[in-house]
Amino acid sequence: MITKHERSFASGETKYKLEHYIDVLELKPRAVRQAQPIRSTVHPKIQNFRNRIETGPKGDREYVKILRLLLDYGQNPLLKAIEECKLNGACSYEAVRFTLMQNLQTLEEVSATTNKSLNLGPEIINHNLSRYDTLMKAGELR
């Protein structure tokens, strides 16, 4: 299977998936300003963030990279990172990416410490395996 689409039974309705268009947008980033797939699939707060980053072709390229982060990490983590960047006045792809990675790393650290303190999973006990070495030597004698 190459791809799967949700079927639309409404007359004249078009459904877009950003992941189908992102590669083309990376090749032609200026199209990001008028792209219907972005207008109909991307959260308005993410769309409005485009106005805060650099104008022109460089800003378009940065915005497409931010859209790639959306596909790679999801909407909620990206929205949180964008809100933090707005509060700090750092509105660029690098700032969003850095904040997103920091937030994800913090989540992983909290998750790892929580799992250790809850004693989830089986307990691993260290055993003396030298007994098996003597068994292997006994088998070689035959």
pLDDT, tens digit, 9 for 90 and up, residues 20-78: 889 999 999 998 888 888 888 899 999 999 999 988 999 999 999 999 999 999 999 99
List b or e across 96-115, with b for residues whose CB sees 16 or more CB atoms inside 10 angstroms.
Answer: bbebbeebeeeeeeeeeeee
Is 128 within a domain? no
CA gap 64, 23 in Å, rounded: 9
In a domain, 121, yes or no: no
Q: Is residue 89 in some structural domain?
A: yes
Between 8 and 15, the more confident residue is 15
CB 80 within 8 A of CB 103: yes
Q: With contact defined as beta carbons under 8 Å apart, do 15 and 5 qualify?
A: yes
Determine the structural domain holding residue 64 and report its residue range: 11-104
Q: Are the C-beta atoms of 101 and 73 separated by less than 8 Å?
A: no
- The Cα–Cα gap between 127 and 116 comes to 21
Whether the pLDDT of residue 114 is over 60: the answer is: no
CA separation for the pair 79, 87 (Å, rounded): 12
- Position 127 in a domain: no
Say if 63 falls within a structural domain: yes
Predicted model pTM:
0.69
Q: Assess contact for 41 and 22: CB atoms under 8 A.
A: no
Within a domain: residue 22? yes
Residue that is written with structure tokens 């390229």 in the block: 61
Examine residue 1 and state whether it is found in any structural domain, yes or no.
Answer: no
What percent of the chain clears pLDDT 90, i.e. is strictly above it?
A: 46
Q: Tell me, yes or no, whether 120 lies in a domain.
A: no
What is the domain count for the chain? 1
